[in-house]
């Protein structure tokens, strides 16, 4: 690759500037990676806490459902569930973390009072209301976890991508540029030594002619 480079002072200057920019790029990418790693571990903590909350809420919701079906009857529980059926809205926004678009899902408060569930309050026992509330909370929590884990995957992918770029710059591009710079310097210095030697010989010849 070095043999394809014209060993001129202009090329030497260009390569020096490019190498300087590459080193600055490495520094910038490392700072970006460090910031992403910090954000990644913050999201990991949120993920672990959310999964713990999900486990507790899931257990409570299904225990409540089993108890409701055992006491109120499966048919009654299904009828209330059908009457309470509704669509829910989830809003997706993007947050910028060091140039990385990180998605965040936002949802309204999905818990409802008995009057909002589409059935007569008198048909809802306290047990059924507790079950319905538990599953509404569980649904909200699932959306929250989906948002957190999507963010976690996006950050992880960007950290890998940034690390590959840093490694490519540090291990391939910058060393190659440095080798090219050394090669051009060596050629230029050799030319200068040869020019100096020729000038000395010419000067010596001129002095000899003058003496003769």
Is the pTM higher than 0.75? no
Q: Where are the alpha helices (DSSP H) in the chain?
A: 9-72, 74-83, 126-168, 174-211
Please report, for the chain, the start and end positions of each structural domain, with discontinuous segments joined by +.
2-207
- Between CA 20 and CA 14 the distance in angstroms is 10
- H or E segment to which residue 111 belongs: none
Q: CB atoms < 10 A from the CB of 164, how many?
A: 11
User: pLDDT tens across 9-18, in order?
Assistant: 888 899 999 9
pLDDT at 102 over 60: yes
Residue 20: pLDDT band with limits 50, 70, 90 = very high
CA distance 86 to 115: 14
Q: Which CATH architecture has domain 2-207?
A: Orthogonal Bundle (1.10)
CA–CA separation, 91 and 148 (whole Å): 14
């Amino acid at each position: 690759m070095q043999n394809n480079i014209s060993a001129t002072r202009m090329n030497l200057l260009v390569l020096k500037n490019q190498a300087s920019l590459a080193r600055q790029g490495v520094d910038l990418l490392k700072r970006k990676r460090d910031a992403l790693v910090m954000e990644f571990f913050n999201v990991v903590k949120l993920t672990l806490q959310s999964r713990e909350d999900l486990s507790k809420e899931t257990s409570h919701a299904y225990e409540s459902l089993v108890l409701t079906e055992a006491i109120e009857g499966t048919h009654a529980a299904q009828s209330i569930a059908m009457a309470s059926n509704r669509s829910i809205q989830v809003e997706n926004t993007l947050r910028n973390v060091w140039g990385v678009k990180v998605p965040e899902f936002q949802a309204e408060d999905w818990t409802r009072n008995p009057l909002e569930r589409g059935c007569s309050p008198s048909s809802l026992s306290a047990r059924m209301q507790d079950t319905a509330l538990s599953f509404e909370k569980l649904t909200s929590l699932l959306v929250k976890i989906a948002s957190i884990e999507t963010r976690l995957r996006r950050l992880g992918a960007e950290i890998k991508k940034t690390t590959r770029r840093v490694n490519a710059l540090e291990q391939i591009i910058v060393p190659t540029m440095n080798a090219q710079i050394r090669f051009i310097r060596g050629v230029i210095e050799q030319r200068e030594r040869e020019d100096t030697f020729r000038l000395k010989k010419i000067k010596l010849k001129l002095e000899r002619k003058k003496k003769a």
